[in-house]
Structure 1
Amino acid sequence: MLTFSFIAFSLTFFQYEKWRLSTVNRDYSVCPSYPPAVIVPKSIDDDTLKKAAKFRQGGRFPVLCYYHKKNGMVIMRSSQPLLGANRKRCKEDELLLQAVIEGSDKGYIIDTRSMQQAQQARMTGGGFESKSFYDRWKRFHKQMERCVSLQESLIKLVEACGDESNNMDRWLSKLENSKWLSHVQNALSTAGLVVSSRDGHSVLVHGSEGTDCSLLISTLAQLIMDPCCRTVEGFLGLLEREWIQAGHPFQQRCAHSAYSHARLQQESPVFLLLLDCVWQLWRQFPLALGFSEALLLRLATEVYASDYGTFLCNSDQERCALEVKERTHCLFQALLRPTERDYYSNPLYERTELAIWPSVHPQSLQLWKGYFLRWTQQVRHLEEAQEEIRNMVIEWGKLVGSHGSKELKQNT
């Protein structure tokens, strides 16, 4: 069953002759981690998609996740191709990517692994797109840390934030050793690389499995480029498409928080890293995002412990098999109720059609105190002050609106 946000997103593409909505995965047999319907080039039939899926890890063949209306540039995402040591090829996969850049001179592939990691993947059956068969695609490698390293980074950061020694040198040393802000910087800079290609050249983003860093980068890129993704409803719809429907394994990645003594190999705070990156955008562009920090904090809490079913399981297939949608409530729909939406909205929001380019200089990135230091006395006082300012802005808006309507009545 498709969600309302995915349907609304999909319908906008029917006006573009180049793309179509495919239900090749209606029974999840082609790709267990994809939703029942995906957007693909119109010139590529479902049989071709099935063959291309066999050439991609986990069946995650390239699918569209963003379309730039002005120039037709798109962002695609997938998993790694299965070349292996023998450098196998798949003509159907080549045709699929060729159809993506039809009418353009080239496209870009952003591989979230280092060149060395991508080459080593061939020894275990993976690999990367060969220049010989994908000659119109230029590949860039932007290494992003994998699950274990990212989880260890979070644990070190949490330990640093809980240090009560009041020793400045010790605090700064622990913060630096955690390398968490380096991960934030890397994610934002990689998303910026994707956005900088929006001059008419399409982009394919993938790493190994395509369920973690690929989703992180595609989400941030859309948030930077598309003003529709910056409202409360638009942002939640973006998370629905790029994380819930796209198959991020929440059950594996968020089984325990960094405070837990249990250590699972597949745990990784990729979604928390996304929220931190969004907070950096929110802080640098306080008028451009239609939601407040409170929404990010709510999501960061719900992903680890929730009364809703939104973050349960590892894929849409699992949620359907366990009837999660029928037996639980949707967090995103709850957040869109009028009272909830008002609470999580940014009263200073002013829509801008321009891209919001984040600064990734070390001096521009800050520790997300609202989350990592949320239980300290100082942050609690700050939250109270922010709430008071928010109420004042809302009341001022009501007064201005009331005064304007009175003047309008007098003039008429």
Structure 2
Amino acid sequence: MSNKIQVLRRVEDVQVLADGKISTANLVLTSHHLVVIQAFTPPTSQDTSNHQPKPKTKETFIAYPSISQCTFRPTPPASGLSSAIRIRCRDFRFLTLNFTDDRQARDVYETTKCQTCRLGTVEKLYAFSFDAPPPEKAINGWELYDAKAEWRRQGISEKGVDRGWRISKINTDYAFSPTYPALLVVPSSISDNTINYAGRYRSRVRIPALTYLHPVNNCSITRSSQPLAGLRGNRSIQDEKLVSACFSASAQVEDDEPSSQPLSRESPASSLADLGLPTEGDLSDTERLEDEMISSSNLEVLSDKPHVYGAQQHNLIVDARPTVNALAMQAVGLGSENMDHYKFATKAYLGIDNIHVMRDSLAKVIEAIKDSDISTLPPNRELLAKSGWLKHIRGLLDGAALIARQVGIQHSHVLIHCSDGWDRTSQLSALSQLMLDPYYRTIDGFIVLVEKDWLAFGHMFQHRSGFLNSDKWFKTENDALAGSAIQPGGNGEGRGDAIENALLSAKRFFNKSNASQDTVTDSDGEMLSIDEPPKAKRSSGTKETLANKEATKPKETSPVFHQFLDCTYQLLHQYPTRFEFNERFLRRMLYHLYSCQYGTFLYNNEKSRLDARVHERTTSVWSYFLAQRAGFTNKDYDGGEIEDHVRGKERLLFPKLDQTRWWPEIFNRTDAELNGPTNAATERYLGPREDSVGVGHGVLTGVETADRVIPASSIRQPPPNGNQGKLASLREGIVSLGILNSMGGQGGSKSPSNGKEKQPMEVEMQ
């Protein structure tokens, strides 16, 4: 251990239970880590000499922010039992510490609690005192991502108009949208004045902005937050103009203007990783559909120059949320696009659940594996299946594949949003680009992808990861070994009925005068649970307010970035030669998300990192990865030239949804334990999806056109689920609140603007 580490407490001869094994260790509590030091004797060699190997020590560092729960179980001195501390970490390491002295156990518990959730500010985390080793100091990881360089790679420069897009400087001081990057790429036909007005129509001023431009067909992926449509059907001409320009930007390129890469004479559909020359009997449903896409290619060759036709016919607005969530958000002035005003596109609801559902899902996974410290038994597969974790992973992959197909095969533009555009939007945007662009499958490219779509576009790492922890995750009880709620924010009881929550939240909103948006919505832009206590009145200027400003809110934590890494693992496992990085690269990235050893993930957006001067005061996590590049490089990687007609070298790749599996290494389990040869429970709970639309197993819950919502049932009838009745109750409940009357409307379902009867929205629910 380094002499620079401040030691707070030492305890010797502590019994440690980990991986079902008992050992004795010494504990050292430093200012930033709990260190478990164990002595062990290396295995003897075949040498027949009498020389015995010298004992060695193994040091296990547990970063305080990585602790997801710490439970103290005191025992009376005369009982003869050991006082215990049970620790569960966010990298899924579980251990129990048994003490013969209750006072020592209490001191260790209180010290750990103080150093974990009593810091009060991010600037007291390890990153601000970490002294990087020389190999990392030699590499400035902060310089790896340059937004202008990445846009140049995509064919967009700061000078002039390139490929129908320009770099706007409307947000260089972050005054326009504090959670967005300084440089925004927008259609060249749209002025900053129009953008300024359009920003007023999007939640948190997160306008549709470019994140990816396909090098072959010039089709784009843009991302934003939800519109402020509301029950009155508010609209913004500027927003409609901006989205329309995003969906027609490729048409603005002059014919004699060279593109950054030559346009393939064959459809990009021919680059599907699933394609080859199998017999008809060997083709899956997905492969057959992709074959049909190839045969109906929109790319034609005239003379010596290829042209993309029909690129504007299948443009798509992707709302990642379930339709019921989007409908409920209308009650608080938010919602989704009215496609009557976006006739140049269709809309798809992907039905991906929000941060609360994902947090509860991971909590159930941990419940199934939580006894790994005291038992060598395999995890409870029934609980694993009930968690729904693999279903969520598969849904994300399916949604991203839909976007990638629209861009890479259908030659269309896509706009992605969820609620605030920084959780599910980041997942879908980054995953679809990973499927579309081989550059992002390299080590440097993946780092650029994380920097661009997660860090620059404002994923709330600090809120979602809960670096400052919470007192709620530390508890003293007499049955600690029983273990109950172990995931931050999870209570094992679920969120209750979503419909009732939406109605109650909407009623609170409209019964309050001058209520702000934040009083009824969380940072994911959706309804708070009914058990969420009302926010205290804000006081300004007090020390308590400043101290609590950065405190972790358990209900805002969620494994959003973890899910993205899990989805990446699925692609890596299915295509082991297509990625330059290996599985360990992803696993260590999740570890350093919670270690707080580097400054990369500590804040919520680009502006916050700039204000905190993390580039000057901390080390980038990319310095760590690049300094050890060899250890994170995939030995099976085939980084040769892209050849769409050769299997394994295609530009595009798509997930094989039926091969979605558990990531055993991240959960510290063996492959046999999580992905054994037979798992009837998983098959029963995952089962084939019956509400699929389009390709694969499908995640669409409805496709909305300019004229109407096409229910998923018109394509494939889902099993009865009773949700239509709930939606009807939701509509009736909203009307019964008198919302429209309180807003100056006529009540009922008539529009307050023209009194015409509005058609009810048809939706399908998962």
Give the TM-score taking structure 2 as reference length: 0.47
**Which of 627, 635, 638 is the matching residue for 1:350?**
638
Give the distance between the partners of 1:262 and 1:4, measured in 2 at CA. 32
**Which of 187, 193, 200 is the matching residue for 2:402?**
193
Give the distance between the partners of 2:347 and 2:330, measured in 1 at CA. 16
> 271-280 or 151-160: which moved more?
151-160
- Aligned: 1:51 with 2:192: no
Structure 2 partner of 1:158: 366
> Is the CA contact (8 Å cut-off) linking 1:226 and 1:353 kept in structure 2?
no
How far has the Cα of 1:377 moved from its partner? 12
Structure 2 partner of 1:273: 563
**2:147 counterpart letter in structure 1:** F
**Which of 235, 254, 259 is the matching residue for 1:89?**
235
> 111-120 or 174-183: which moved more?
111-120
Structure 2 partner of 1:107: 315
**Which of 204, 208, 220 is the matching residue for 2:419?**
208
**1:368 counterpart letter in structure 2:** W
Structure 2 partner of 1:229: 440
Give the distance between the partners of 1:305 and 1:151, measured in 2 at CA. 19
Give the distance between the partners of 1:367 and 1:261, measured in 2 at CA. 19
Structure 2 partner of 1:407: none
> What SS does the corresponding residue of 1:304 show, helix, strand or coil?
helix
Structure 1 partner of 2:339: 131
- Aligned: 1:145 with 2:372: no
Structure 2 partner of 1:220: 431
**Which of 152, 156, 167 is the matching residue for 1:11?**
152
User: Could you list the per-position Cα deviations for residues 161-215 of structure 1 after superposition, in whole angstroms to 9, with x for gaps in the alignment?
Assistant: 23457777x7121111111111100000000110110221100110111010000
Greater helix fraction, Structure 1 or Structure 2: 1
Structure 1 partner of 2:219: 73
How far has the Cα of 1:261 moved from its partner? 6.3
User: Could you list the per-position Cα deviations for residues 117-139 of structure 1 after superposition, in whole angstroms to 9, with x for gaps in the alignment?
Assistant: 21211111111111221011100
- Aligned: 1:341 with 2:632: no
User: Using CA pairs below 8 Å that are at least 6 residues apart, which structure has the higher relative contact order?
Assistant: 2
Structure 1 partner of 2:85: none
> What SS does the corresponding residue of 1:371 show, helix, strand or coil?
coil
User: Could you list the per-position Cα deviations for residues 274-305 of structure 1 after superposition, in whole angstroms to 9, with x for gaps in the alignment?
Assistant: 00000011100000001001110111101111
Give the distance between the partners of 2:236 and 2:178, measured in 1 at CA. 20
Task: Call closer, same or farther: CA 1:359–1:39 in 2, change over 3 Å.
Answer: same
Give the distance between the partners of 1:149 and 1:240, measured in 2 at CA. 26
Give the distance between the partners of 1:377 and 1:228, measured in 2 at CA. 29
Task: Call closer, same or farther: CA 1:94–1:88 in 2, change over 3 Å.
Answer: same
Unpaired runs of at least 5, structure 2: 1-141, 252-311, 474-484, 490-553, 640-648, 674-766
Give the distance between the partners of 2:391 and 2:145, measured in 1 at CA. 36
> Is the CA contact (8 Å cut-off) linking 2:318 and 2:415 kept in structure 1?
yes
> Is the CA contact (8 Å cut-off) linking 2:367 and 2:486 kept in structure 1?
no
> Is the CA contact (8 Å cut-off) linking 1:5 and 1:240 kept in structure 2?
no
> What SS does the corresponding residue of 1:81 show, helix, strand or coil?
coil
Structure 2 partner of 1:172: 381
**1:178 counterpart letter in structure 2:** S
User: Percent of aligned positions with the same letter in both sequences?
Assistant: 32
**2:323 counterpart letter in structure 1:** M
Structure 1 partner of 2:664: 369
> Is the CA contact (8 Å cut-off) linking 1:64 and 1:77 kept in structure 2?
yes
Task: Call closer, same or farther: CA 1:321–1:40 in 2, change over 3 Å.
Answer: same
Task: Call closer, same or farther: CA 1:47–1:173 in 2, change over 3 Å.
Answer: same
What pairs up with 1:248-327 in 2 under 5 angstroms? Answer: 248-255=459-466, 262-263=488-489, 264-327=554-617
**1:187 counterpart letter in structure 2:** L
> Is the CA contact (8 Å cut-off) linking 2:366 and 2:487 kept in structure 1?
no
Q: Which runs of 4+ in 1 moved over 4 A?
A: 164-168, 256-262, 376-379
Give the distance between the partners of 2:486 and 2:590, measured in 1 at CA. 16
Task: Call closer, same or farther: CA 1:243–1:173 in 2, change over 3 Å.
Answer: same
**Which of 426, 451, 457 is the matching residue for 1:246?**
457
> 350-359 or 272-281: which moved more?
350-359
Task: Call closer, same or farther: CA 1:86–1:233 in 2, change over 3 Å.
Answer: same
> What SS does the corresponding residue of 1:54 show, helix, strand or coil?
helix
Give the distance between the partners of 1:329 and 1:260, measured in 2 at CA. 31
- Aligned: 1:21 with 2:167: yes
Give the distance between the partners of 1:93 and 1:149, measured in 2 at CA. 31
Give the distance between the partners of 1:81 and 1:114, measured in 2 at CA. 16
Give the distance between the partners of 1:184 and 1:314, measured in 2 at CA. 24
How far has the Cα of 1:11 moved from its partner? 2.0
Give the distance between the partners of 2:464 and 2:196, measured in 1 at CA. 28
Give the distance between the partners of 1:25 and 1:107, measured in 2 at CA. 27
Structure 2 partner of 1:409: none
User: Could you list the per-position Cα deviations for residues 48-77 of structure 1 after superposition, in whole angstroms to 9, with x for gaps in the alignment?
Assistant: 111111110011000111111111111111
Give the distance between the partners of 1:106 and 1:359, measured in 2 at CA. 24
Give the TM-score taking structure 1 as reference length: 0.86
Give the distance between the partners of 1:261 and 1:20, measured in 2 at CA. 44
**2:652 counterpart letter in structure 1:** A
Structure 1 partner of 2:256: none
Give the distance between the partners of 2:144 and 2:605, measured in 1 at CA. 14
> What SS does the corresponding residue of 2:201 show, helix, strand or coil?
coil
> What SS does the corresponding residue of 2:596 show, helix, strand or coil?
coil
Larger Rg: 2
User: Could you list the per-position Cα deviations for residues 289-336 of structure 1 after superposition, in whole angstroms to 9, with x for gaps in the alignment?
Assistant: 010011101111011113110001111111111112221111124322
How far has the Cα of 1:262 moved from its partner? 4.7
Structure 1 partner of 2:210: 64
Give the distance between the partners of 1:234 and 1:350, measured in 2 at CA. 15
Task: Call closer, same or farther: CA 1:95–1:35 in 2, change over 3 Å.
Answer: same
How far has the Cα of 1:228 moved from its partner? 0.6
> 13-22 or 276-285: which moved more?
13-22
**2:447 counterpart letter in structure 1:** L
Structure 2 partner of 1:122: 330
Task: Call closer, same or farther: CA 1:255–1:72 in 2, change over 3 Å.
Answer: same
Q: CA RMSD in A?
A: 2.2
Give the distance between the partners of 1:239 and 1:211, measured in 2 at CA. 12
